[in-house]
């Protein structure tokens, strides 16, 4: 068991390791190495990344110490390969690469550096937190990061929904509304599970652009409608059998969530279901641990966002006109799911 001092020391120094990983992702160091034949000198890597040679060497040595790269030789001829088990995760050219998420978290670190101010004032700080990659690329990193995470979670989520009996209540040819669906990872998973269903992805232009890239040459393309819009400013089309709201409500305050739920209710057929995937906190809000940290992430990043308890989510759904609210999937992660029904 760690002593109190060791725990404090380890927790307070974690930003150093996180910053090393962030720099690796933003500079795309691993991809550079893999492009150079899976092993290269620090000077070669620095040139490929457009970086200072001394700075790159120091960063590479730290990445070796952390276990992501290895090193053969010494001095200027030393070469750095990526440790094989991390190669696909750190190659930004791969669809399931974790690099976009690492870049997204690098941006979050800049928000988190102002946490004390955010707690004191109860709101995010105004300082720009964009990376040197630029605001537009940071936006792409966020969307592709969510895709990379969803690729790893979607199959398990479908299994959990199956066990909860969700699919038993849906018609085989269900019309699905994926609200804020971004690149469409969950849409694709639902449609593979339900071969006669169709779906509409509703999202901002950046998300729809990624979805278009995903589906325009896919055999599922004819089954997917892409609809640009901002649900904080307009409603949805109607006539849907099922609505999926994944990792959305934590961005908003209670009244904003109720507004979203009311618009969702209007989009559904009588007797249709909504499913909300997000953190669901215990009543005392101290667990799951990941949810408490994510709540702080919303404090430093959004005006009103937070994580919610089941009672809060249920209260907002009932107030918006839904019935039969259930904690369908009880997970200590953002893959918990709450369901509700539109009255017949």
Answer yes or no: is 129 within a domain.
no
Answer yes or no: is 117 within a domain.
no
Answer yes or no: is 183 within a domain.
yes
Distance, CA of 133 to CA of 107 (rounded, Å): 11
> Domain boundary at 91, 111, 144, which?
91
> Domain boundary at 72, 91, 110, which?
91
Same domain, 172 and 259: yes
Task: Answer yes or no: are the C-beta atoms of 137 and 115 closer than 8 Å.
Answer: no
Candidates 134, 132, 133, 115; CA nearest to 124 is: 115
For residue 35, give its domain range: 4-91
Judge if pTM exceeds 0.85: yes
Domain count, the chain: 2
Same domain, 190 and 328: yes
Answer yes or no: is 317 within a domain.
yes
Residue with tokens 């974790």: 98
Stronger pLDDT, 248 or 146, i.e. the higher one: 248
Same domain, 180 and 279: yes
Tokens of residue 37, six digits = 């034949």
Same domain, 166 and 81: no
Distance, CA of 57 to CA of 46 (rounded, Å): 8
Q: How buried is residue 94: exposed, middle or buried, by Cβ count under 10 Å (0-12/13-18/19+)? A: middle
CATH code for the domain of 243: 3.40.50.150
Answer yes or no: is 109 within a domain.
no
| pLDDT of 127 | 64
DSSP β-bridge partners for residue 337: 277, 329
Same domain, 17 and 161: no
Tokens of residue 63, six digits = 């990445």
pLDDT tens digits, 125-176: 876 667 778 888 877 777 787 777 877 889 999 999 999 999 999 999 999 9
pLDDT tens digits, 22-48: 999 999 999 999 999 999 999 999 999
pLDDT tens digits, 191-230: 999 999 999 999 999 899 999 999 999 999 999 999 999 9
């Amino acid at each position: 068991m760690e002593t109190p001092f060791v725990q404090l020391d380890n927790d307070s120094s974690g930003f150093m390791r996180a910053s090393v990983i962030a720099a690796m992702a933003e500079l795309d160091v691993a991809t550079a190495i893999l492009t150079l034949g899976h092993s290269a000198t620090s000077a070669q890597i620095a040139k490929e990344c457009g970086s200072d040679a001394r700075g790159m060497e120091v960063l590479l040595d730290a990445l070796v110490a952390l276990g992501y790269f290895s090193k053969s030789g010494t001095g200027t001829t030393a070469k750095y390969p990526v440790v094989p088990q991390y190669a696909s995760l750190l190659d930004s050219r791969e669809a399931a690469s974790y690099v976009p998420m690492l870049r997204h978290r690098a941006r979050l670190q800049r928000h988190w550096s102002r946490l004390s101010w955010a707690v004191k004032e109860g709101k995010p700080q105004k300082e720009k937190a964009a990376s040197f990659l630029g605001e537009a690329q940071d936006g792409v990193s966020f969307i592709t990061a969510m895709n990379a995470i969803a690729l790893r979670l979607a199959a398990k989520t479908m299994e959990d929904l199956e066990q909860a009996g969700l699919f038993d209540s849906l018609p085989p040819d269900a019309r699905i509304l994926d609200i804020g669906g971004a690149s469409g990872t969950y849409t694709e998973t639902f449609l593979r599970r339900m071969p006669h269903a169709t779906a509409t992805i509703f999202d901002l232009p950046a998300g729809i652009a990624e979805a278009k890239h995903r589906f325009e040459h896919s055999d599922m393309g004819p089954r997917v409608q892409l609809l640009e819009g901002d649900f904080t400013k307009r409603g949805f089309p109607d006539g849907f059998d099922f609505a999926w709201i994944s990792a959305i409500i934590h961005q908003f305050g209670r009244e904003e969530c109720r507004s979203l739920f009311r618009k969702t209710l209007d989009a559904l057929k009588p007797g249709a279901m909504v499913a909300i995937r997000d953190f669901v906190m215990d009543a005392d809000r101290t667990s799951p641990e990941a949810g408490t940290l994510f709540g702080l992430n919303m404090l430093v990043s959004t005006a009103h966002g937070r994580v919610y308890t089941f009672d809060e989510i249920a209260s907002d759904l009932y107030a918006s006109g839904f019935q039969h609210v259930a904690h369908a999937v009880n997970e200590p992660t953002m893959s918990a799911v709450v369901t509700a029904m539109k009255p017949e």
